[in-house]
Amino acid sequence: MNTKPCPFKNSTLILSIILGMLLFVTQNALAQQSVKLTLKLGGNVDLLCTYIKPGKFMMGSPENDTLADKIERPQHEVAIDRAFYMGIYPITIKQFKVFVQETGYRTVAETDGIGGHGYSEANRKFEGLFPQYNWQHPGWEQSDEHPVVNISWIDANKFCEWASARTGKKISLPTEEEWEYACRAGTTTLFFTGDDPNSLKGYANISDDALRDKLQQEQKPDRTFPFNDGFPFTSPVGSFKPNPWGLYDMTGNVWQICDGTLPGSTPNQVAGHVAKGGSYNAYPEFARSAVRGRIKASSKYGYFGFRVVVK
């Protein structure tokens, strides 16, 4: 019996393995190219985005969600027909600075004579609206990597107009549907980390022991998360782990202002706009994926920022 290996069979096997490896490497390289988008805002400042594929999801809160507000119901299916890119992080101080430096833009909080909202170290409380508070001065130390706050729907849209002209891309706020679809990232639980609020530990900057320590007795929230996430106020973007689709700070850090108006409301109606995601001041109910914060076009608070989409 001839036991000598067949050289032709072996070389075919080796060739197949090599071709398979080449195909794997090529596919991965193409996938990496297609899922990321980096836009230049100027001044060596980039806007990093990731690809969000089309799909369907259940939006809003189910009847058995005891933390839900009635405006989040009924839960209903939504189809996202077109792919888009979404900012991996909320817009940062550094990115907003480029916009301001190039345009001279001044925010609503800086120009309406009323001012913004912030934290008083002396009084150990959040306060406002006062003229001393705006995106540059919320009452705590910010680095360039912190998400910009004290931003209104009006200001966020002005940034998007500028960024669109700057990059030649259509940059806007996400619709509420796009935001919730991207936040859930295929999950159907209350939080993208599960149904247990404590599952957000390590994934979100929310109301915690660090914040409680900064507040006077009257302002201490009674429903904080039972741990210290290290940040009483905003945290540099990307300080926590991302959601399943690679988006950071979708929950917590800052509420994210969305495009459009609530169904049945008009643009000038009080609280006709929506913000999502909760903030560093969010109790568990305000950190759910379905949460629906209502704001005016001119509302500005130290809890509110935004992220953008590119279409």
Q: For Ca ion, which residue of 72, 180, 229, 249 counts as binding (CB under 5 A)?
A: 229
Q: Which amino acid is at 95?
A: Q
Tokens, residue 266: 């008009």
Q: Is 231 in the site for Ca ion (CB under 5 A)?
A: yes
Number of neighbouring beta carbons within 10 Å of residue 77: 9
Stretch that binds Ca ion, among 3-11, 93-101, 202-210, 243-251 (CB under 5 A): 202-210
Minimum CB–partner distance for residue 20 and Ca ion (Å): 47
Tokens, residue 171: 């940059």
Stretch that binds Ca ion, among 18-26, 116-124, 162-170, 229-237 (CB under 5 A): 229-237
Q: Mutual orientation of helices 153-167 and 93-103 as an angle, nearest 10°? A: 80
Q: Is 205 in the site for Ca ion (CB under 5 A)?
A: yes
Residue indicated by tokens 């550094």: 94
Q: Which is nearer to Ca ion, 110 or 208 (CB)?
A: 208
- Distance between CA atoms of residues 112 and 117, nearest Å: 13
- Distance between CA atoms of residues 9 and 38, nearest Å: 46
Tokens, residue 106: 């001044």
- Distance between CA atoms of residues 153 and 101, nearest Å: 20
Stretch that binds Ca ion, among 31-39, 111-119, 226-234, 285-293 (CB under 5 A): 226-234
Minimum CB–partner distance for residue 199 and Ca ion (Å): 16
- Residue 68 dihedral angles phi and psi, to the nearest 5°: -75, 150
Q: Is 208 in the site for Ca ion (CB under 5 A)?
A: yes
Q: Is 155 in the site for Ca ion (CB under 5 A)?
A: no
Residue 113 and residue 204 in contact, taking contact as beta carbons nearer than 8 Å? no
Q: Is 280 in the site for Ca ion (CB under 5 A)?
A: yes
Q: Which is nearer to Ca ion, 116 or 252 (CB)?
A: 252
Stretch that binds Ca ion, among 9-17, 24-32, 158-166, 278-286 (CB under 5 A): 278-286
- Distance between CA atoms of residues 102 and 105, nearest Å: 8
Stretch that binds Ca ion, among 18-26, 28-36, 148-156, 280-288 (CB under 5 A): 280-288
DSSP three-state, residue 28: helix
Q: Which is nearer to Ca ion, 252 or 260 (CB)?
A: 252
Q: Which is nearer to Ca ion, 96 or 231 (CB)?
A: 231
Which positions touch Ca ion (CB under 5 A)? 205, 208, 229, 231, 280
